[in-house]
Amino acid sequence: MAHGRSPHHVTSCEKCGVPRPDRAHHCKVCNACVMRMDHHCPWINNCVGIHNHKFFVQLVLYGAAAAAVGVLTSAPWLLFCFSAIRRDDGYAVEPGFSLGEGFSSNLVPFDLSVREAWAMVLDCALGLLVAVLLGLLAFGVVPNLFSNITTIEQNYPRNMNPFDQEGVMANMAQVFGSPGPDWLLPVSPWQPVCDGLVFPARGAPPLHGQAQGEALWHLWYTGGYKGRSPLSLSRPASLGSPPQMAGLSARASPWG
């Protein structure tokens, strides 16, 4: 039983005192272990893990898109807003103002008050701020999704991503499920390929002994195994820490 980080191995949590599956981490804010933990998000005041990672990605992308659409579609009206603020007489434009031939005069907000104009400007500024912040966040979220690595695992030594399925679609499927229309919908994956307990190794199926051990943990966590905790059983030899991972558990970590 390994403590700390150890990809492809079951570890135990020193704070909760329970065994935890691969890629699970203890969150100090939530005071709980979270399966396939990505990070604790202060904006949603919750952890992002296996069961809400898809919704988190959608929140970032759809939120950024909605804010961008809001800003772009209201930007032309800012011209009238600035005009109303400059005139300061309760009218956005001179009476009789025309956008030109072919444009309906209904498009011109003649009686735009200064207060309304400022509200519109503020609204656009907030929309722009949200679009920029979520857009920047998307630049961190999407590449991780495409390579099947979590924010926590980015602290692993460089170039080490044992969970990379070597394909954007296969990596996305680990979070979004098998490709389908549900990828676009805010619903749980219709055909999940990852249960948050067992993770396929890169390229080849897991070793026989390791697969056996992980299958036992899977049954134990899902209630299918009614016997004693797998902790009390002899551990398959392949569950020991591989030498190249030895330095990982000693690294300081904010996630425990």
Q: How far is the CB of 4 from Zn ion (least distance, A)?
A: 12
C-beta of 2 vs 65, nearer to Zn ion: 2
Q: How far is the CB of 152 from Zn ion (least distance, A)?
A: 11
Quote the tokens at residue 54.
């898809």
Q: How far is the CB of 33 from Zn ion (least distance, A)?
A: 4
**Closest CA relative to residue 154, chosen from 39, 237, 71:** 39
The CA-based dihedral angle spanning residues 39, 41, 47, 49, taken in that order and rounded to the nearest 10 degrees: -50
Q: How far is the CB of 153 from Zn ion (least distance, A)?
A: 16
Q: Is the distance from CB of 52 to CB of 109 less than 8 angstroms?
A: no
C-beta of 15 vs 202, nearer to Zn ion: 15
C-beta of 29 vs 237, nearer to Zn ion: 29
Report d(CA 123, CA 10) in Å as an integer: 49
Report d(CA 189, CA 217) in Å as an integer: 23
List alpha helices for the chain, DSSP H.
53-74, 78-87, 114-147, 168-176, 208-222
Q: How far is the CB of 144 from Zn ion (least distance, A)?
A: 17
Q: How far is the CB of 20 from Zn ion (least distance, A)?
A: 7
C-alpha to C-alpha distances, 154 to 19, 21, 39, 148, nearest whole angstrom: 23, 18, 11, 11
C-beta of 41 vs 114, nearer to Zn ion: 41
C-beta of 35 vs 67, nearer to Zn ion: 35
C-beta of 36 vs 40, nearer to Zn ion: 40
Would you tell me which residues interact with Zn ion (CB under 5 A)?
A: 13, 15-16, 26-27, 29-30, 33, 40, 47
Q: Is the distance from CB of 149 to CB of 163 less than 8 angstroms?
A: yes
Q: What is the DSSP letter of 3?
A: -
**Closest CA relative to residue 152, chosen from 63, 23, 38:** 38
